[in-house]
């Protein structure tokens, strides 16, 4: 008899479980639209050309060793990450009000930010999360004892943003709550506020003295343009707001398994910034001692080299361009079939995902009859589509909605 005999069995992770079912399926035309990982037009994982170049440079570097990184990570990496999201001419950076810690990709950035807030923000403050949101958000905040409140986000009828519902809940939350916002390419809906809507959101947050927690997992992936995808974050800075921003290099560098990320804090004084950083280091020390080196070395090299940065931008244009092309291809295939319902949202949504509006029952038929794997909420990863399977997928959708 084990002391863990009565440990409750945890349910399997939905996304990773979906991939396992897909892998076990022997049907030749099967499609995996579950996991949010970019695939090329042959359905294969994609190593960015700029990452291959950086790999080659790193492998030839005689000075490269396997020593520990500093607790807060590679200083030039965290500085470049701040410039990437805030812009090279950011006043906060110039005024030394910005600090950053290298983290275990975006998940680690969310965790470190959450842990810090659980210790050093107003006791009992809750975090407001969009409904729906990335499945991990609730768990990450609950793990450190921060309770969550949902704010409306997806208007199923409109197949778009429920701005009014969102603003109402942010307005009615207790002062100094924490508001989590997806900086761009909202996961899972693919629906982002417009610039005018962002201004309204910032205004309400300012009025209520809320603290903003940006999660930015898709910079450069949404529009293909790094600056455009950082617009909301930069606008918040211009409004004199303090905030955290979690950056992931999983998607935009294709460094999924290397776990390169950053937690950047924008504060109103250099003194506060230094205090915050000292606690990031202290928390990080007891949690992971110091962050993993390789992925951050790749990113550090690219972000601090103009030629490599230019190549990265080209790689981003290629990935985001292929995704946008697949949106158009799926939309026109559904139009051609005369599939019942409206499908414009497929082309207006941005980033890795599309929230199709397919029901749980329809998703289940897609799986059992067509070997197409997607989450029950009808979210599809656009990157799983390519010129060889998009027609097949459109026909399958056409069948299940009729
Ligand atoms: N935040 C959001 C909204 C995401 O969609 C993801 C990945 O899917 C992440 C954070 C973190 O991913 P990672 O830890 O792989 O960087």
**Per-run averaged pLDDT (10 residues), the chain, 402 residues:** 96 88 94 93 96 97 94 98 98 98 98 98 97 96 98 93 98 98 96 97 98 97 94 98 98 97 98 98 98 98 98 96 96 96 93 93 96 94 96 97 93
How confident is the model at residue 36, as a pLDDT?
87
Q: How many CA atoms lie within 13 A of 116 on its CB side?
A: 29
Q: Please give the number of the atom of ligand 1 that sits closest to the Cα of 182.
A: 3
First to last CA, the chain: 54
Name which of 133, 399, 103, 144 is nearest 247 in CA terms. 103
- Count of CB atoms situated within 10 Å of the CB of 62: 5
Q: How many CA atoms lie within 13 A of 211 on its CB side?
A: 22
How confident is the model at residue 186, as a pLDDT?
96
Whether 215 is a known active-site residue: answer yes
CA 194, distance to chain mean position in Å, is 18
Taking the CA atoms of the chain, what radius of gyration do you get in angstroms?
21
Q: Report CA torsion sign: 24, 30, 32, 38.
A: positive
Nearest CA to ligand 1 atom 11: 106
How confident is the model at residue 263, as a pLDDT?
98
Name which of 293, 222, 296, 215 is nearest 252 in CA terms. 222
Name which of 248, 343, 277 is nearest 36 in CA terms. 248
Q: Could you tell me where the DSSP H helices lie in 62-132?
A: 75-86, 91-94, 105-120
Please give the Cα distance from 375 to 161 (Å, whole number). 20
Ligand 1 pocket test target in 134, 189, 299 with most atoms within 8 Å of CB: 134
ipTM: 0.99
Q: Please give the number of the atom of ligand 1 that sits closest to the Cα of 108.
A: 14
């Amino acid at each position: 008899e084990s002391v863990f005999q009565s440990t409750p069995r945890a349910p399997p992770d939905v996304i990773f479980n979906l991939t396992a079912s897909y892998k076990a399926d022997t049907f030749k035309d099967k499609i995996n639209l579950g996991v949010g990982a970019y695939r090329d037009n042959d359905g294969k994982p994609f190593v960015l050309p700029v990452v291959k170049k950086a790999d080659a440079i790193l492998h030839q570097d005689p000075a490269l060793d396997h020593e520990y990184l500093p607790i807060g990570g590679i200083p030039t990496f965290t500085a470049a990450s701040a410039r990437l999201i805030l812009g090279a001419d950011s006043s906060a950076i110039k005024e030394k009000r910005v600090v950053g810690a290298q983290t275990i990709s975006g998940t680690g950035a969310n965790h470190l930010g959450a842990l810090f807030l659980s210790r050093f923000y107003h006791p009992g403050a809750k975090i407001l999360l969009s409904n729906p949101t990335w499945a991990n958000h609730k768990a990450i905040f609950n793990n450190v004892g921060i309770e969550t409140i949902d704010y409306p986000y997806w208007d199923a009828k409109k197949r778009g943003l429920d701005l009014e519902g969102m603003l109402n809940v942010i307005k009615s939350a207790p002062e100094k709550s924490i508001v989590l916002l997806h900086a761009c390419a909202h996961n899972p809906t693919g629906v982002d506020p417009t610039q005018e809507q962002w201004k309204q959101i910032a205004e309400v947050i300012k009025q209520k003295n809320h603290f903003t927690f940006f999660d930015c997992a898709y910079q450069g992936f949404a529009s293909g343009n790094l600056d455009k995808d950082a617009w909301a974050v930069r606008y918040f800075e211009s409004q004199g707001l303090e905030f955290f921003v979690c950056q992931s290099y999983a998607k935009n560098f294709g460094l999924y398994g290397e776990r390169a990320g950053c937690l950047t804090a924008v504060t109103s004084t250099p003194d506060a910034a230094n205090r915050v950083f000292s606690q990031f280091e202290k928390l990080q020390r007891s949690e992971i001692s110091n962050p993993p080196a390789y992925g951050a070395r790749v990113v550090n090299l690219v972000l601090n080299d103009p030629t490599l940065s230019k190549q990265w931008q080209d790689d981003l244009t290629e990935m985001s361009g292929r995704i946008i092309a697949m949106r158009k291809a799926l939309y026109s295939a559904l139009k051609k079939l005369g599939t019942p319902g409206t499908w414009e949202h497929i082309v207006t949504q941005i980033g890795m995902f599309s929230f199709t509006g397919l029901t749980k029952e329809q998703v289940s038929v897609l799986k059992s009859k067509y070997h197409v794997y997607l989450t029950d909420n009808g979210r599809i990863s656009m990157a799983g589509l390519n010129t060889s399977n998009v027609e097949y997928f459109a026909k399958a959708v056409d069948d299940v909605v009729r």
